[in-house]
Amino acid sequence: MRNLAQRSAGAAREIKSLIEQSHVQVSAGSALAQQAGRTMADVVDSVHKVSGIIGEISSASRAQAQGIAAIGEAIGAMDAQTRDSAGMVREAAAAAVALKDEARHLAEVVSVFHLDSVNGASTRPALLAA
């Protein structure tokens, strides 16, 4: 019986030791689980921050695209105005040439007249002999 009592006492000590080791391991596991929980919460917070930043980038990209579109429209309007101005310059140049030709023709027509001047005042026109 003594032997049995000694073996029971040894088994009880071994069970107590195993329970203590299990308790230490459960405590360590619990601490690790709490740390993992805090880390997961940090990750979730970081994901929310990144999501917010991505939303801001998206909004800024839309605003930038709208600005670029407005610039494109303004450049198109400037191009149209430049083309219109170039057309008007061509028309004005053609009108100037026509006016120059008309003035030359008028000078030729008027060249047949000779004006007498007396004391710096013009009198009636006189026809030149051709």
Q: Give pLDDT tens digits for 23-45.
A: 999 999 999 999 999 999 999 99
Q: Is the pTM of this model over 0.75?
A: no
CA angle 99–103–109, rounded 5-degree value: 145
Q: CA end-to-end span of the chain, whole Å? A: 168
- What is the distance of C-alpha 77 from the center of its chain? 19
CA pair distance 98, 104, nearest whole angstrom:
10
Q: Give pLDDT tens digits for 57-107.
A: 999 999 999 999 999 999 999 999 999 999 999 999 999 999 999 999 999
